[in-house]
Amino acid sequence: MIEAEALTKQFEGRTVVSDITFRCEPGTVTGFLGPNGAGKSTTMRMLVGLSEPDHGGARILGGRYRDLANPGRRVGILLDASAQHAGRRGREALAVSAQTMGVPAQRVGEVLELVGLDETAAQRRVGKYSLGMRQRLGLAHALLGEPEVLILDEPANGLDPEGMRWMRGLLRGFADRGGTVLLSSHLLAEVEAVADRMMIIGGGRIQAQGTRAELLTESGTIVEAADLAELDALLRSAGLVAHRADGDRRLVEAEPEVIARLAIANDVVLRRLAPAEDAGLERLFFELTTSGGSAPPQANSSNAELTGATA
């Protein structure tokens, strides 16, 4: 269980994180999405006491993080895979933490095997690791204390597609056993495949949060026409809101059937007519996170809007 309440943080007068409130329940994976610099890392640092919020607070497993007797055994953390001493061997880096949190030394071997770092890799100094190896070492470190909560900042960064698939399986299994997972990413695709809930952060504020289905209720229909200008005119005359989409298509905020009937009635030839789904989530993510962030925009209005009127 992770609870954040009105977390706010300023650096040198600039508000980096503003009034962030959320809850991550046991048994779920929560995806924390936003572009680089949106405030994800700062929020995560405040959760675990590395950074002190100016307002608000966070509770993990029912209390403040710093009040946990042995936090390494309750909460697994990966905030920066490169934050390891370059001159220390991979196995030794884990062994130091295992000793600190009182985990038997054999657990080091277990997590190394779990993340797929073999003995040769474990004996190398971390300074010689590739980004992917550091990421695996960081995941091994997060799992070392057999925690019940995982807080992972950009854990898929530097993993190959196979590694990403493996990590999704790992997190899914962890949550299914009752664990709580919060993972951040700046890439929608990394998160949406595994997350039960998503929070989209832009400009230091949470712009939208909910399950995938909840976030998609606004999504519409992808339409492609033989004559694009004709299509635009038709949509405008019908009072439907449309947005530019990839490949000279339109994303229309209406059900496919509505558009199909309209096209037949007006003799407009359509080449493509399909529910938006992923395109809708992508658009939502794009719009919410590129607005610069002072005022959260409505999910269905945008700067990419082509036809103004709504009925």
Partner 1 sequence: MKATTLAAPIPVNIAGVHTGPGLGRLVAVELRKMVNTRAGFWLQIATVALTVLVVTVRSVVGDAADPTFASLLDAGVKPAAVLLPIAGILLVTSEWSQRTGIITFTLVPVRSRVLGAKLIASLLLALAMLVMAVGVVAAGVLAASPGVGGTWSDAAPLIGQSAVYLTGGMLTGVAFGAVVLASAPAIVALFALPIAWTGVASLSFFADAAPWLDTRLALGPMPQEVMSGTQWAQAATALALWMLLPLLIGTWRITRREVAS
Query: In the complex, which residues of this chain contact partner 1 (CB under 8 A)?
Result: 41, 45, 48-52, 65-66, 68-75, 77, 79-80, 82-89, 92, 96-97, 99-102, 110, 113-118, 121, 125, 132-133, 136, 141, 143, 145-148, 153, 162-163, 166, 169-170, 173-174, 177-179
CB 44 within 8 A of CB 151: yes
First to last CA, the chain: 43
Please, what is the minimum distance in Å from the beta carbon of residue 306 to partner 1?
41
Please, what is the minimum distance in Å from the beta carbon of residue 192 to partner 1?
22
Alpha helices, DSSP H, located in 79-238: 90-101, 106-115, 119-122, 131-143, 161-176, 188-192, 212-216, 228-238
Closer to partner 1 by Cβ: residue 22 or 174: 174
Closer to partner 1 by Cβ: residue 66 or 247: 66
CB 104 within 8 A of CB 82: no
Closer to partner 1 by Cβ: residue 20 or 68: 68
Please, what is the minimum distance in Å from the beta carbon of residue 214 to partner 1?
27
Please, what is the minimum distance in Å from the beta carbon of residue 250 to partner 1?
41
Task: Return the CA Rg of the chain.
Answer: 23
Please, what is the minimum distance in Å from the beta carbon of residue 161 to partner 1?
11
Closer to partner 1 by Cβ: residue 3 or 92: 92
Please, what is the minimum distance in Å from the beta carbon of residue 25 to partner 1?
14
Closer to partner 1 by Cβ: residue 87 or 308: 87
Q: List, in order, residues 6 or more apart from 138 with CB less than 8 Å away.
A: 78, 80, 81, 84, 155
Q: How many CB atoms lie within 10 A of CB 179?
A: 18
For the chain, strand residue ranges (E) read 2-11, 14-24, 29-33, 55-60, 75-78, 149-153, 180-185, 197-202, 205-211, 221-225, 242-245, 249-252, 270-275
Closer to partner 1 by Cβ: residue 86 or 269: 86
